[in-house]
Amino acid sequence: MPTPIKMPALSPTMEEGTLAKWLVKAGDTVAAGDLLAEIETDKATMEFEAVDEGTIASIEIEEGTEGVAVGTVIAMLAGEGESVEDAAKAAPADEPKAKKNEEKSDAKKDDAPAEPAKASPRESAEPQKAPAQAKAAPEKDGDRVFASPLARRIAEDKGLDLTSVKGSGPRGRIVKADVENAKPGQQAAAAPQAGSAAPVTMDGDAPFEEEKVSGVRKVVAKRLTAAKQEVPHYYLSVDINLDALLAARADLNKMLEAEGVKLSVNDLLIKALAKALMRTPQAHVSFQGDTLHRYSRADISVAVASPKGLITPIIRGADRKSLAEIATEMKELAGKAREGKLQPHEYQGGTASISNLGMFGIKQFDAVINPPQGMIMAVGAGEQRPWVIDGQIAPATIMTASGSFDHRAIDGAEGAQLMEAFKQMCEQPMGMML
């Protein structure tokens, strides 16, 4: 019996993904373990392996297709002794197709008589939005707008008034190309979704290029919006003298030069935060509704900017690892993050986070907590400032660190104790070695 190859769930939270690239084609013979495709999840691009051996009978979802739901049949596999043609015909006819498949079928739909747009589940559940939605696709007697279902969907997403769009399809029907090529002056106000801010569409006459939002950016937007809406943040800041830490780093780098390891300031800050968390267990927690999770190991999520958006690879057990191990691992993870090659276990989890914008000259900032974590440390640039040393004012390299805390799990005094411990670790770096 032919085997359907389905869109895999490559992470516990994955509901859909982008079929970025096929590594096989119809007619190719594959064995278990062979690479079939590259799948883009909300965080990374991952390779998908074959589980069974056989011949690829058909490709059901083309590469580049977005929004492919987990469980959707993406290809058919003919086993030994099975007809490739029969296997291809065995693909489910009613499988949900993703965006690109809808686009391909748009031309075929244009040949059929226009039908009134059917209400989606969201529309039927929210009848109060009907007037605003109808504006994008009116269905008046004697003045009916003939448009393909895909054109209607795109028009709704873009806030276009279909009454002002000229159709190029059969009998003047509006098709995908018409709404995509519609000028900004044809845009109408679209009703915002409940619980979300309406996007600003009034660009005026300033020239712009429209850029598609990546899956990573969508996830970042969703998670950070929820964090600010649901997590009661409070913020604590301390100024830290980095001179001792910088001197220790220089000495350590000389010792590690033969091993090809070079410590960054951020590597030492990761270690300092990990050790500080272990010294203040009351601040090393996360809020879980009816319970608190208290952690006995410091897994530090490190904010890394990638072309697709912010991602936080994790240094697991940072409190137990040497500085050389942290430096080596962080370099590897940062590279994979920028290339979109992180595996789920490399970015999922973490007990606390650190974000460093000092390399951009930022002196101080407040970061947004990454739920369900209870805190994030934001560190700025070290700069020369007047500092009191042994009763005398002298220049010193000072860095401002700001902690963001979840007040549901960590009280102010507990957050202050963590900030004090972090400051001590940075100013007395030998404590990191203990």
Interatomic CA distance for residues 384 and 38, integer angstroms: 48
Residue holding tokens 């595996």? 343
Mean pLDDT is highest, among 62-76, 183-197, 286-300, for 286-300
345 is catalytic: no
Quote the tokens at residue 77.
């596999």
pLDDT in tens, 209-218: 888 887 778 8
pLDDT in tens, 62-108: 998 888 889 999 999 988 878 888 877 777 765 444 444 444 445 44
Interatomic CA distance for residues 364 and 378, integer angstroms: 8
Q: Is-above-0.75 flag for pTM?
A: no
With a CB cutoff of 8 Å and minimum separation 6, the contacts of 236 are 402, 403, 405, 412, 415, 416, 419
pLDDT at residue 83 in the model: 84
R_g of the chain computed on alpha carbons: 27
3-class secondary-structure state, position 24: coil
Q: 299, 316 in Cβ contact below 8 A?
A: yes
pLDDT in tens, 267-285: 999 999 999 999 999 999 9
Pairing of strands 285-287, 292-294: antiparallel
The DSSP element (H or E) to which 76 belongs, if any, is strand 73-78
pLDDT in tens, 391-431: 999 999 999 999 999 999 999 999 999 999 999 999 999 99
Active-site residue, selected from the candidate residues 233, 293, 345, 407: 407
Interatomic CA distance for residues 89 and 96, integer angstroms: 16
Q: Which domains does the chain have, with CATH numbers?
A: 3-103 (2.40.50.100), 110-201 (no CATH), 217-433 (3.30.559.10)
pLDDT at residue 203 in the model: 59
Report which of residues 49 and 119 the model is more confident about: 49
pLDDT band at 171 (very low <50, low <70, confident <90, very high): low
CA torsion, ordered 393, 396, 402, 403, to nearest 10 deg: -100
Beta strands of 181-260 (E only): which ranges? 233-241
H/E/C letters for each residue in 148-179? CHHHHHHHHHHCECHHHCCCCCHHHCECHHHH
Q: Is 386 exposed, middle or buried (0-12, 13-18, 19+ CB in 10 A)?
A: exposed
Interatomic CA distance for residues 190 and 129, integer angstroms: 10
Interatomic CA distance for residues 140 and 142, integer angstroms: 6
Range with the lowest mean pLDDT among 7-11, 93-97, 119-123, 315-319? Answer: 119-123
340: left (phi over 0), alpha (psi -120 to 50) or beta: left
